[in-house]
Amino acid sequence: MKALVLTGPGRAEVQDVPEPAAEPGQVVVDVHRAGICGTDVEFLTGEMAYLHTGDAAYPMRIGHEWMGTVSAVGAGVDPSWIGQRVTGDTMLGCGACRRCARGRQHVCAHRLELGIRGGKAGALAEKVATTVGSLHRMPSAVDDAAGAMVEPGGNAFRAVQGAGLGSGDRCLVIGPGTIGLLSAMFARAAGAEVHLLAADERSAAFARSLGFDDVWTVERMPQLPWDAVIEASNAPHLPATAVELVEPGGRVVFIGLAGTPSLIDTRDLAVKDVTAVGVLSASPGLAGTIDAYADGVVDPRPLIAATVALDELPSILAGSRPEGAGPGPKIQVAL
């Protein structure tokens, strides 16, 4: 089968590789749609931290935003899974440790991360193998494009949960990329008054096109009390800004990751009695995201700028924009 392989920093190519087999407890999925994200780009550039900690190494096969149809099952797996449209959790815990036993497999010290950590081959390929316990069925109301947006949506879903938002709350989302925009959508669905802080007018204009009227750049942002701030950028100075802006007694959610350390004065957290929440993964939010998509509460598809073929990915990961691409932040691959 064909799969995207990163062979070293700055080197990506589509290769013919062996098809995966369904081992005991596993399934093989024919991938229909997959997305690329900033983590994938960091693996290509060599900046991703796992490459420096030994948790990942070249050659590697990336891709962790995906959906498809189960085509084979391994020993011990109910054969009724065959033919089911599914997506799957990226975080594959060991299943035996204390964290896994408590439902926190996404922070298992021994976890594999599909397309990211521990050599687990990803879904930018015609087929992917994963554990049956990681699967989530896709209702017919969620099409392929939205299905491949469940993973980023799960992160945003959890960010809004962490912010504790409800009707009448005012929320500021810093960084209107894919996760920031999805967070804004889920916050709006929760009844909050949503504002976004953008780096430039171009990204601000796209956020406004999604129905968000209160989108600001730093120069124009009003001084308002923010009950919660969701920090979804990759700028190292903005986490401290989030703590500075949030109301005393409010909540700050950190879901963006900068390439260098972000410094926060914990005295500001304590003196303002602020609750700080970190979000690592989509895992606990996948089911809720699928339900929201199926019910039409959140529609992630306007974020998709273009859908391309697998052979186009090497140049796109290197920074080229597909011809005719829209203004959204997300590129998907149809397989």
pLDDT along the chain (335 residues), means of 10: 98 98 98 96 95 97 98 98 98 97 96 98 98 98 98 98 96 98 98 97 96 96 97 96 98 94 95 98 97 98 98 95 95 98
Pairing type for strands 275-278 and 246-254 reads parallel
What pLDDT is stored for residue 122 in this prediction?
A: 98
Among residues 279, 211, 182, 199, which one has the least CA distance to residue 241?
199
CA distances from 117 to 129, 175, 306, 314 (A): 15, 26, 27, 20
What pLDDT is stored for residue 259 in this prediction?
A: 84
CA distances from 155 to 180, 220, 274, 280 (A): 10, 28, 21, 8
Q: What gap in Å lies between CA 57 and CA 46, rounded to an integer?
A: 10
Q: What is the DSSP letter of 2?
A: E
3-state secondary structure (DSSP) of residue 72: strand
Q: Hey, what are 237's tokens?
A: 């100075």
Sign, CA dihedral 167-173-178-179, equals negative
Burial readout 155-173 (b: 16 or more C-beta within 10 A, e: otherwise): bbbbbbbbbbbeeebbbbb
Q: What gap in Å lies between CA 113 and CA 64, rounded to an integer?
A: 8
Q: What gap in Å lies between CA 65 and CA 123, rounded to an integer?
A: 7
What pLDDT is stored for residue 176 in this prediction?
A: 96
What residue ranges in the chain does DSSP mark as E strands?
2-8, 11-16, 26-36, 65-73, 85-88, 91-92, 112-113, 127-131, 135-137, 170-174, 193-197, 215-216, 226-231, 246-254, 275-278, 304-308, 330-334
| Residue 152 and residue 37 in contact, taking contact as beta carbons nearer than 8 Å | yes
- The CATH T-level fold of domain 2-149+300-334 is Quinone Oxidoreductase; Chain A, domain 1 (3.90.180)
Q: Which part of the chain is CATH 3.40.50.720?
A: 153-278
| Residue 120 and residue 92 in contact, taking contact as beta carbons nearer than 8 Å | yes
CATH label, 153-278, candidates 1.10.3720.10, 3.40.50.720, 3.30.450.20, 3.40.50.970 = 3.40.50.720
Sign, CA dihedral 265-269-270-275, equals negative
The DSSP element (H or E) to which 181 belongs, if any, is helix 178-189
